[in-house]
């Protein structure tokens, strides 16, 4: 564990390994860096691994401020710089997938590879529980949902459903543990700012589907749990079609958290992807820039 002060705010992170290549692991909403605990040891003998607690999450500060995808992307970029890392393969889960995509668009010179894990930002569909958090008055209900006893209840529900053979047990327990992390007012406020920045009552309102083609310049892996109850498996196909040359890995009998449910399979897929691809390089020639410009203009004409 380590922490740094970025722009006046504490950012906590986990790090391991001393490899030449850096892997940056970005968790999802209400999560923290502990969700990568089973993955980090499997990567640390080959790579340098960095897993921050995003602002508003875990042990990091929870200021009143900007919780947009762009602000998060800038924050992880600044963390890389402060820790002396020039580039990284960026792995984003759920909300972290949206942040990873934003990072790759805004700061491509820092991004060697892109890995999207049950990612947000690929369609409007999302679990009703997250949509409900955008309703007026949600701040009055959250203290009840986030009561510390819910952590124990969540684990009990997950274990009971697991014994019945219901694969949603792990997802449900993890969701309840996530809500139990909102036990103080600052964490709840940060959560509401974050969720309302990307979701409204109709579902996800921030979409990367109109810019996915930009990611074709970066080696991309898409990982999804076939039984994800939070963000549907169909969104994996959207990303795969939208990013030419991307690689798609579907984990059967797995929900929203493949890194927790299938850590060995997940780590193997990630290592194989990194070892079998060359990192993106962004030393643009005039021809490269003109090609990219033409693609953007073409997309703009189609959208009209």
Residue 148 lies in a domain: no
Residue 22, domain member (yes or no): yes
Handedness of CA 284, 285, 289, 294 (dihedral sign): negative
Cβ(27)–Cβ(249) under 8 Å?
Answer: no
138-160, pLDDT tens digit by residue?
Answer: 765 665 555 555 555 555 555 55
pLDDT tens per residue across span 19-68: 999 999 999 999 999 999 999 999 999 999 999 999 999 999 999 999 99
**Which residues on neighbouring strands pair with residue 41, listed in sequence order?**
none
Does residue 149 belong to any structural domain of this protein? no
Q: Does any domain span residue 32? A: yes
- Catalogue the active-site residues: 94, 228, 256
Q: What is the pTM of this model?
A: 0.87
Is 110 inside a domain boundary? yes
CA 104 – CA 96 distance, rounded (Å) = 12
d(CA 265, CA 237): 20
Closest C-alpha to 235, from 76, 127, 130, 106: 127
Q: How confident is the model at residue 134 (pLDDT cuts 50, 70, 90)?
A: confident
Q: Is residue 200 part of a domain?
A: no
CATH of the domain at 247: 3.40.50.1820
Residue-by-residue DSSP string for 50-79 = EEEPPTTSTTS---SS--SHHHHHHHHHHH
Residues with Cβ within 8 Å of 82's Cβ and at least 6 positions away in sequence, in order, are: 4, 6
Measured CA to CA, the distance from residue 241 to residue 237 in angstroms comes to 6
């Amino acid at each position: 564990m380590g922490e740094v002060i970025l722009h006046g705010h504490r950012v906590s992170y986990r790090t391991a390994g001393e490899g030449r290549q850096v892997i940056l692991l970005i968790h999802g909403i209400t999560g923290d860096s502990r969700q990568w605990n089973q993955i980090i040891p499997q990567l640390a003998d080959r790579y340098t691994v960095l897993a921050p607690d995003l602002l508003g999450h875990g042990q990091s500060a929870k200021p009143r401020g900007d919780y947009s995808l762009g602000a998060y992307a800038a924050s992880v970029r600044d963390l890389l710089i402060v820790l002396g890392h020039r580039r990284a393969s960026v792995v984003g889960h759920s909300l972290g997938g949206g942040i990873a995509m934003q990072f790759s668009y805004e700061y491509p010179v820092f991004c060697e590879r892109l890995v999207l894990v049950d990612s947000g930002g690929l369609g409007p569909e999302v679990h009703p529980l997250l949509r409900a958090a955008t309703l007026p008055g949600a701040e009055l209900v959250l203290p009840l949902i986030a009561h510390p006893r819910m952590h124990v209840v969540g684990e009990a529900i997950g274990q009971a459903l697991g014994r019945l053979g219901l694969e949603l047990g792990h997802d449900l327990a993890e969701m309840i543990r996530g809500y139990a992390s909102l036990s103080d007012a600052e964490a709840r406020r940060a959560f509401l700012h974050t969720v309302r920045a990307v979701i409204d009552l109709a579902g996800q309102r921030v979409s990367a589907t109109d810019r996915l083609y930009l990611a074709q310049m970066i080696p991309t892996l898409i990982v999804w749990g076939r039984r994800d109850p939070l963000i549907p498996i169909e969104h994996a196909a959207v990303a795969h079609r939208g990013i030419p040359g991307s690689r798609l890995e579907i984990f059967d009998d797995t929900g929203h958290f493949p890194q927790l449910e299938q850590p060995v399979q997940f780590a193997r897929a990630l290592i194989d992807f990194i070892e079998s691809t060359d990192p993106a390089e962004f030393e643009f020639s005039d021809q490269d820039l003109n090609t990219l410009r033409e693609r953007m203009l073409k997309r703009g004409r189609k959208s009209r």
